[in-house]
Structure 1
Amino acid sequence: MRISVKAPAKINLTLDVLAKRPDGYHEVEMVMTTVDLADRVDLTLRGDDQITLDCSASFVPDDIRNHAYKAAVLLKERYQVPYGVHLYIDKQIPVAAGLAGGSSDAAATLRGLNQLWGLDLTLDQLAEVGAEIGSDVPFCVYGGTALAKGRGEKIVHLGAPAPCWVILAKPPVGVSTADVYGQFRLEHVKQHPDTRRMLRSIEEQDFSLMCQSLGNVLETVTLNLQPQVRQIKELMIASGADGVLMSGSGPTVFALVQKEAKVHRIYNALRGFVKDVYVARMLGSQEREILA
C-alpha cells in the first residue's frame, strides 16, 4: 500500500519575538499561511518494521536528522506500531529557506502514517507529536492560516486571507535559524509588527491592509548577515510588488501581488538576479492534502 501527501510551504505574514524563555527558546507571535509551492511525500508500507527514506535532493539527510524520518520514528514508538514505512520526498521547496520545508515534510509524514498505519488519530494528537520535532510542525499539521504563539506550537486557526499571488526568491546563501536568533536583540527592535491589524486584515479579507501589516523582527538581523536578501527585497519593491517581507529567519523573501500582470514583471526582474524564484498562490484555508 502506498499513499502520497502534499507538504506545502509556509510564509510568515508577521513574526514577532516577545521574550526569551527559560527553556532557551523565544516567545513568539506569528501569523502564518500556506502557499501552493509544495513537496510531495510518498509513503509505502513495509512488511518489516524498518523506517527508510530517500529524497530527490541528494544533500538532504536520510536518517534521524531528517524531520520526516524523525516523525515516523516518534509515531511508531509512541503508538507501538508493528509496521515499517519507506518514505520518498520529492523536494520542490528550497532547503533552509525560511519556508518550513522540513517541518512540512514531517507534518505530511504524520498525516500520511496516520492513514497508512490505521492509527485514527486527530490532527490535535498529530500536532502534539509534531511539537516534539520542531516549532513549525504543529502549524504544518493543520495547514491553512493561523496565529502561532508560545514557541510556535500554540495554534489559533484563522480564516483565509485575501487571495493573491506570492512570488518567492531565495538567494544562493544559507541562513542558520540558530545564528539569527543568537544575534537577535529584543531591546534593539524599533518597531514590532502590528499583529492585531494583520488579524483584522485577514478577517476582512483586506489585501491592502494585509500588505501594510507585514512585519518580521528577524529581518534586520538577516539583512545585515546577508546583503543579497536586502537586494532582493529592494528589487521586488522597485518592480511594483504590493507587499514584501522576508519569511521566517530567511533568506527567502516573498512579494504579494494582486494583479497577474505584475507577477511576470517581478518574476523576470528577479530571474535576472537569482536562480531560485517561484510563483505561487496562497492556499489560505485548510485542505485535505492526501492525494491517493
Structure 2
Amino acid sequence: MKRIRLRAHAKVNYSLEVTGVRDDGYHTLRTVFQSISLADELSFERAEGRGEGFALEVEPPKAPLGPPGENTVRRAWELVCERAGRTLPVRVSLLKRVPAGAGLGGGSADGAATLVGLSELYGLGLSEEELLGIAARVGADVPFCLLGGTRLGEGVGERLTPLPPPPEHYIAVAKPEASASTAEIFRIYDRRSVERKGNSRPVMAAIRAGSLTRLASSVGNDLAPLTAALVPEVLDYERALLEAGALGTAMTGSGTAVYGIFADERRARAALLGEKLAGAAVGVFRPARSGVEPL
C-alpha cells in the first residue's frame, strides 16, 4: 500500500471534572467525550528513496500546529518508528479544519490518525491495544480520538469506558479569537479554589435514558470559569447560544470553544448567524461514532 487517506474527528466534552493531581503533576479527570462530525483530513504516502524521514505539508500553510519537532503528528511518527525498530519514511498532507487552541482535540485527532495511517501504510499490524499504548504517550486525549464515539474518560483520559450513542442532536460551535494554553489553565486551577459540579454522572444517566433535554441541562466543565477569566467571550458566547435557543451550553476541554446543543439544525445554524456570534462561528455538527475513519 503506497497511500492512506483518513478523516480525524474533533471532539467535545459533555462534562469535564478535575478529580485530583498525580505525583507527577498531571491532573486526573472524569469526562464524557463525544466525537463530532468536524474533522481534519490526512494523507500518508511512503517516501522511500526520496531521502526523507518525515515531511509534513499543511493546508492552510499557516495553520498553527505547535513547534515543528513537537506537534502530535511528528510525535506519533517518532513513537511508531520506535515501536517498529526502524525509520518509516513518510510524507503527510494535512487539511486542517479543526481550529487550534479550542479544546476540540484537533491535534490529538491528527496524532491518532497518524498512528492508524502508519500502521496501515507499512503493514505493521498494530493491534488496538498496541495503538492505545502508543497513543497515551502522544497525548492525553489521543487514546479517545483513536477510538472515538461516546466514552467516559478517567485518569488523564487514557481509561476509557464506552457509552451508548447520545440522542440525535446538533452541536453549534463558536470560538473566540483568543486561545488558551491548557498548561496555563491548569496552573491557574492549582492556585485557585474551583467549584466541582459533578456533571459526568448526570450526563451519563441522560445518555443512557436517551433524553436530549436531560443531556443538554447536564453538560458542564469545571475549567470554564478559569478560562473565562482570561477570555470573557467564553461566557458571552454561552449566553448568546442560550438566548438563540440552545437547550444547553458548555465549554469544551480547556477552551476556548463553546458549544450549544440544539434539537433542530435550522435553529442551530441561525444561532451562529446572530450578531453576538458574528465571526466566531466554527459550524454546526452532529455526534460521530468514530474517531479515525477512511476517506
Report if aligned partners of 2:17, 2:29 keep a CA contact under 8 Å in 1: yes
Structure 1 residues 8 and 226: CA distance shift in structure 2, 3 A: same
How far apart, CA to CA, are the structure 2 residues paired with 1:196 and 1:186?
26
How far apart, CA to CA, are the structure 2 residues paired with 1:271 and 1:117?
49
Q: Which residue does the alignment assign to 1:3?
A: 4
How far apart, CA to CA, are the structure 2 residues paired with 1:186 and 1:145?
32
2:249 aligned to which of 244, 247, 251: 244
Deviation at 1:116, TM superposition (A): 0.5
Structure 1 residues 137 and 270: CA distance shift in structure 2, 3 A: farther
How far apart, CA to CA, are the structure 1 residues paired with 2:292 and 2:181?
31
Report if aligned partners of 1:235, 1:270 keep a CA contact under 8 Å in 2: no
SS of the residue 2:167 aligns to: coil
Q: Does 1:17 align with 2:53?
A: no
2:195 aligned to which of 185, 190, 200: 190
How far apart, CA to CA, are the structure 2 residues paired with 1:39 and 1:234?
28
Q: Does 1:256 align with 2:261?
A: yes
How far apart, CA to CA, are the structure 1 residues paired with 2:143 and 2:244?
35
How far apart, CA to CA, are the structure 2 residues paired with 1:227 and 1:287?
31
Q: Percent identity?
A: 31
Deviation at 1:166, TM superposition (A): 0.6
Structure 1 residues 195 and 282: CA distance shift in structure 2, 3 A: same
Q: Which residue does the alignment assign to 1:55?
A: 58
Q: Which residue does the alignment assign to 2:290?
A: 286
Q: Which residue does the alignment assign to 1:103?
A: 108
Matched residues, number = 290
Deviation at 1:69, TM superposition (A): 1.2
Amino acid at match of 1:32: F
How far apart, CA to CA, are the structure 1 residues paired with 2:275 and 2:32?
26
SS of the residue 1:188 aligns to: coil
How far apart, CA to CA, are the structure 2 residues paired with 1:34 and 1:63?
26
Amino acid at match of 1:27: T
Structure 1 residues 231 and 288: CA distance shift in structure 2, 3 A: closer
Structure 2: runs of 5+ lacking an equivalent: none
How far apart, CA to CA, are the structure 2 residues paired with 1:110 and 1:270?
41
Superimposed CA distance per residue, residues 143-201 of structure 1 (whole angstroms, 9 cap, x where no aligned partner): 11111111111111112111111110011101111111111159723342232221111
Superimposed CA distance per residue, residues 65-100 of structure 1 (whole angstroms, 9 cap, x where no aligned partner): 110111011101111245311111100000111001
Structure 1 residues 150 and 272: CA distance shift in structure 2, 3 A: closer
- Further displaced range: 183-192 or 169-178: 183-192
How far apart, CA to CA, are the structure 2 residues paired with 1:271 and 1:47?
51
Structure 1: runs of 5+ lacking an equivalent: none
When the two chains are superposed, the root-mean-square deviation of aligned CA atoms in Å is: 1.8
Q: Which residue does the alignment assign to 1:170?
A: 175
- Further displaced range: 119-128 or 139-148: 119-128
Deviation at 1:273, TM superposition (A): 2.8
Structure 1 residues 272 and 195: CA distance shift in structure 2, 3 A: closer
Report if aligned partners of 1:62, 1:69 keep a CA contact under 8 Å in 2: no
- Further displaced range: 106-115 or 75-84: 75-84
SS of the residue 1:131 aligns to: helix
Length-normalised TM-score, structure 1: 0.94
Superimposed CA distance per residue, residues 200-231 of structure 1 (whole angstroms, 9 cap, x where no aligned partner): 11122211111121111000101111111111
2:211 aligned to which of 206, 213, 216: 206
Amino acid at match of 1:3: I
How far apart, CA to CA, are the structure 2 residues paired with 1:248 and 1:188?
19
